[in-house]
Amino acid sequence: VTSPVECPTCGGPARDLPADPRQAVKCRWCGTAFERSTAEETLKRLHGEIRDWLRKTAGVEGAASTSSIDVATRTFLFNERILPGLRRDVRRALDEHIGDVDGAPILTPALLSYLPGFTREDALLVSKREQILGLRSLRARLEAEEVAAFATTSADRLALETLRADIDRTIIASNASYALASGIALGAELARTNLAALDGSTSAVAEVADPAAATVTRAFAVRSKALIATIDAVRVTPPDQAALDGAAARLEETAQWLLTADTRDLRGALTSTGIQRDATAARVIASIAQAIRGTTIGVVAMLDTLAPLASYLAHCTRGKDAPWVVFAWAQALAALSTGAGIPAVADTSWVNAAVGAACGNGERPARVDVVLEPFWVYSARMTKAEGFFFVSGKQYDGVVLVPAATSHEGTLLVPREHPMASHIDRALAAPSRPGLPVDSAQVGPEAGRLCARGTLRARGLKNVVLGEGQLVYFPVAFAVIVSGTGQRTISMSPLGPVPADAASAVGRAEALTRAAIGLGRGLATVSA
């Protein structure tokens, strides 16, 4: 049965409704179940509200009385009373009560909820869901026959259409974002339907209303297609890495293109922020796929496993760092659950000697935990003054290690000729299966770089130039040393003491191991 009935939640058109008004159907746009009778009641209520509003605004009682008003009066009323009121209500609802929806990401996996640009404040399409669904009554007003009867010219009708398109775009984008926030696998179909609608439905109106909007419209189309490609690529195991990388790159290019196409166009720049955030999310998902390559783990399973650990991303203050940090987690989890390799310096033969040497008179180690701790490693070039009478500057090469786990203090500098530099090169060239618990990275390479530069400058080194950061795991021994008077904890690395919070590091490593066991169990179930 074809019906003009709309979903009472999102206002999306419903089709193929059952004849029985009590039989529940699911909205293909927002996924809410509703009965035909409820939808009809809602429509009736909305029409009642529209009639009240029209009576207050234009002093008319509905379609019947509107037809008795001459065209000039209708045009006058539309332009002086109805349209300004509608514009004010739409702008206030969108700008004042909801915010910059164009700057909000559509792709908002729970994993990113602690990252700048993805917090509740930024993810408006999800956090302002109630207000966005409240736009439905405004939308009903914009498409009501009673209101349309006053729009006598094509310009008037276009003005109504433009306002409606703004609302439609917001509701559709929110439907997609809300569906994806509940989990990519769960919300994939709903998200796809809405993204496909976002691609096509609003563009025509936007371009007619303002040809300059064509740039933004094209960008929206690319965004929708890239997000659909991302959703499709993660639903298969193994994930389609090329499609994921391609989609992330398209989003990044589109965001950049919007900026450089016309940097004076505010809409372009504003829209580029939302697209850039989607690009970050897509890049994070692509980095997960990269980390689990060669394993039997799926991206969706990894996303689900990582989501409870999202709070660790709070230390990651740069969006650019997020894909790296998430990659590190996913890599560690994949290694722990499937035995895949990670770039680690595995030698722990130094632990006993180092802990023994750290014990003073009457002290003995009560407990020693050895954990693979992540470090950002940068090749470094720096200079320093040498000589006494004939002072001159010399350039040195080295390797800089910055702890990536809890804090980024404790930068270590290894000269290029030190044996550890070769160990690091070997670890990067040939990843190995971790034989120890693994801690998770919390700061990214950019934050690590800032820290390294600051520390090396404080040590009197000049002109510090760092290469790209790479993650390498080093065994760190956390020893509890007891004596007659009490106990103390030390953290030792193969390069000497490192500042680290033993309890946190061991706790995080245990959490990661538990998560890996859960993931491994899930994999075993799938394969069984």
Partner 1 sequence: VSHACDNDVMGLFDDLRMASGLGLEPAEAYKRAYEKGVLLGPTHFAVAGDLFQTAAQQLQAVNGAMAYRAMANAHVYRYLARRDPQSGTLAAQTLAQVQWIEVPGTVDEIMEGPKLGAEIHARLLEDQARHASVGGQGAADLFRRAAQAWVPLLTWRPVTFELLPEDVYTEDGTARFFLNAGNAAWHDAQARAADDPDIGAEYYALAAQAFGRCGANDLRAQARERLKAVRLERPCWFCGRAVRGFGDNLRVLSAGASDYFVKLAHADRERGEALEQESRGIYACSVCAGAVDRIAEARAQAVRAEVTAMGARLTAAVTALESRVGHLEGFRRLG
Find the binder of partner 1 among 127, 276, 295, 411 (CB under 8 A).
Answer: 276
Find the binder of partner 1 among 465, 503, 517, 526 (CB under 8 A).
Answer: 465
- CB of 327 within 8 A of CB of 283? no
Euclidean distance between CA atoms 426 and 341, whole angstroms: 13
Which residue, 238 or 454, is less far from partner 1 as judged by CB? 454
Going by C-beta distance under 8 Å and a sequence separation of 6 or more, which residues neighbour residue 44?
Answer: none
Q: Which two tokens stand for residue 369?
A: 């935990």
Which residue, 120 or 462, is less far from partner 1 as judged by CB? 462
Span interacting with partner 1, options 181-189, 371-379, 381-389, 508-516, rule CB under 8 A: 381-389
Task: Please report whether residue 2 would count as binding partner 1 according to CB under 8 A.
Answer: no
Q: How many residues bind partner 1 (CB under 8 A)?
A: 43
Evaluated on CA atoms 174, 176, 177, 178, the torsion sign reads positive
Within 10 angstroms of residue 369's Cβ, the number of other Cβ atoms is: 18
Find the binder of partner 1 among 64, 72, 391, 429 (CB under 8 A).
Answer: 391
Mark out the alpha helices in 20-153 (DSSP H runs): 36-58, 63-67, 71-77, 83-91, 124-127, 129-133, 135-143, 145-148
Q: Which two tokens stand for residue 423?
A: 């160990």
Find the binder of partner 1 among 269, 359, 482, 495 (CB under 8 A).
Answer: 269
Task: Please report whether residue 210 would count as binding partner 1 according to CB under 8 A.
Answer: no
Span interacting with partner 1, options 40-48, 211-219, 383-391, 426-434, rule CB under 8 A: 383-391
Task: Please report whether residue 59 would count as binding partner 1 according to CB under 8 A.
Answer: no
- By CB under 8 A, the residues from 155 to 184 that bind partner 1 are none
Q: What minimum distance in Å lies between the beta carbon of 167 and partner 1?
A: 18
Task: Please report whether residue 357 would count as binding partner 1 according to CB under 8 A.
Answer: no
Q: What minimum distance in Å lies between the beta carbon of 397 and partner 1?
A: 10
- CB of 363 within 8 A of CB of 483? yes
Find the binder of partner 1 among 464, 498, 502, 509 (CB under 8 A).
Answer: 464
Find the binder of partner 1 among 381, 510, 522, 523 (CB under 8 A).
Answer: 381
Task: Please report whether residue 55 would count as binding partner 1 according to CB under 8 A.
Answer: no
Task: Please report whether residue 416 would count as binding partner 1 according to CB under 8 A.
Answer: no
Within 10 angstroms of residue 305's Cβ, the number of other Cβ atoms is: 21
Span interacting with partner 1, options 283-291, 292-300, 409-417, 456-464, rule CB under 8 A: 456-464
Euclidean distance between CA atoms 408 and 404, whole angstroms: 6
Encode 414-432 in three state secondary structure. EECCCHHHHHHHHHHHCCE
| Crossing angle of the two packed helices 266-291 and 214-234, in degrees rounded to 10 | 10
Euclidean distance between CA atoms 344 and 327, whole angstroms: 15
Angle at 99 between CA 94 and CA 103, to 5 degrees: 115
Task: Please report whether residue 249 would count as binding partner 1 according to CB under 8 A.
Answer: no
Query: Across the strands, what pairs with 385?
Result: 393
Q: Print the binding letters for residues 314-343 with partner 1: x by CB under 8 A, - otherwise.
A: ---xxxx-----------------------
Task: Please report whether residue 254 would count as binding partner 1 according to CB under 8 A.
Answer: no
Mark out the alpha helices in 339-413 (DSSP H runs): 351-358
Find the binder of partner 1 among 393, 415, 497, 499 (CB under 8 A).
Answer: 393
Task: Please report whether residue 130 would count as binding partner 1 according to CB under 8 A.
Answer: no
Find the binder of partner 1 among 55, 92, 157, 416 (CB under 8 A).
Answer: 92
Measuring CA to CA, which residue among 271, 268, 155 is closest to residue 212?
268
Q: What residue ranges bind partner 1 (CB under 8 A)?
A: 88, 92, 95-96, 100, 103, 116-117, 122, 256, 259-260, 263-264, 266, 269-270, 273, 276, 317-320, 381, 383-385, 389-395, 446, 453-454, 457, 462-466
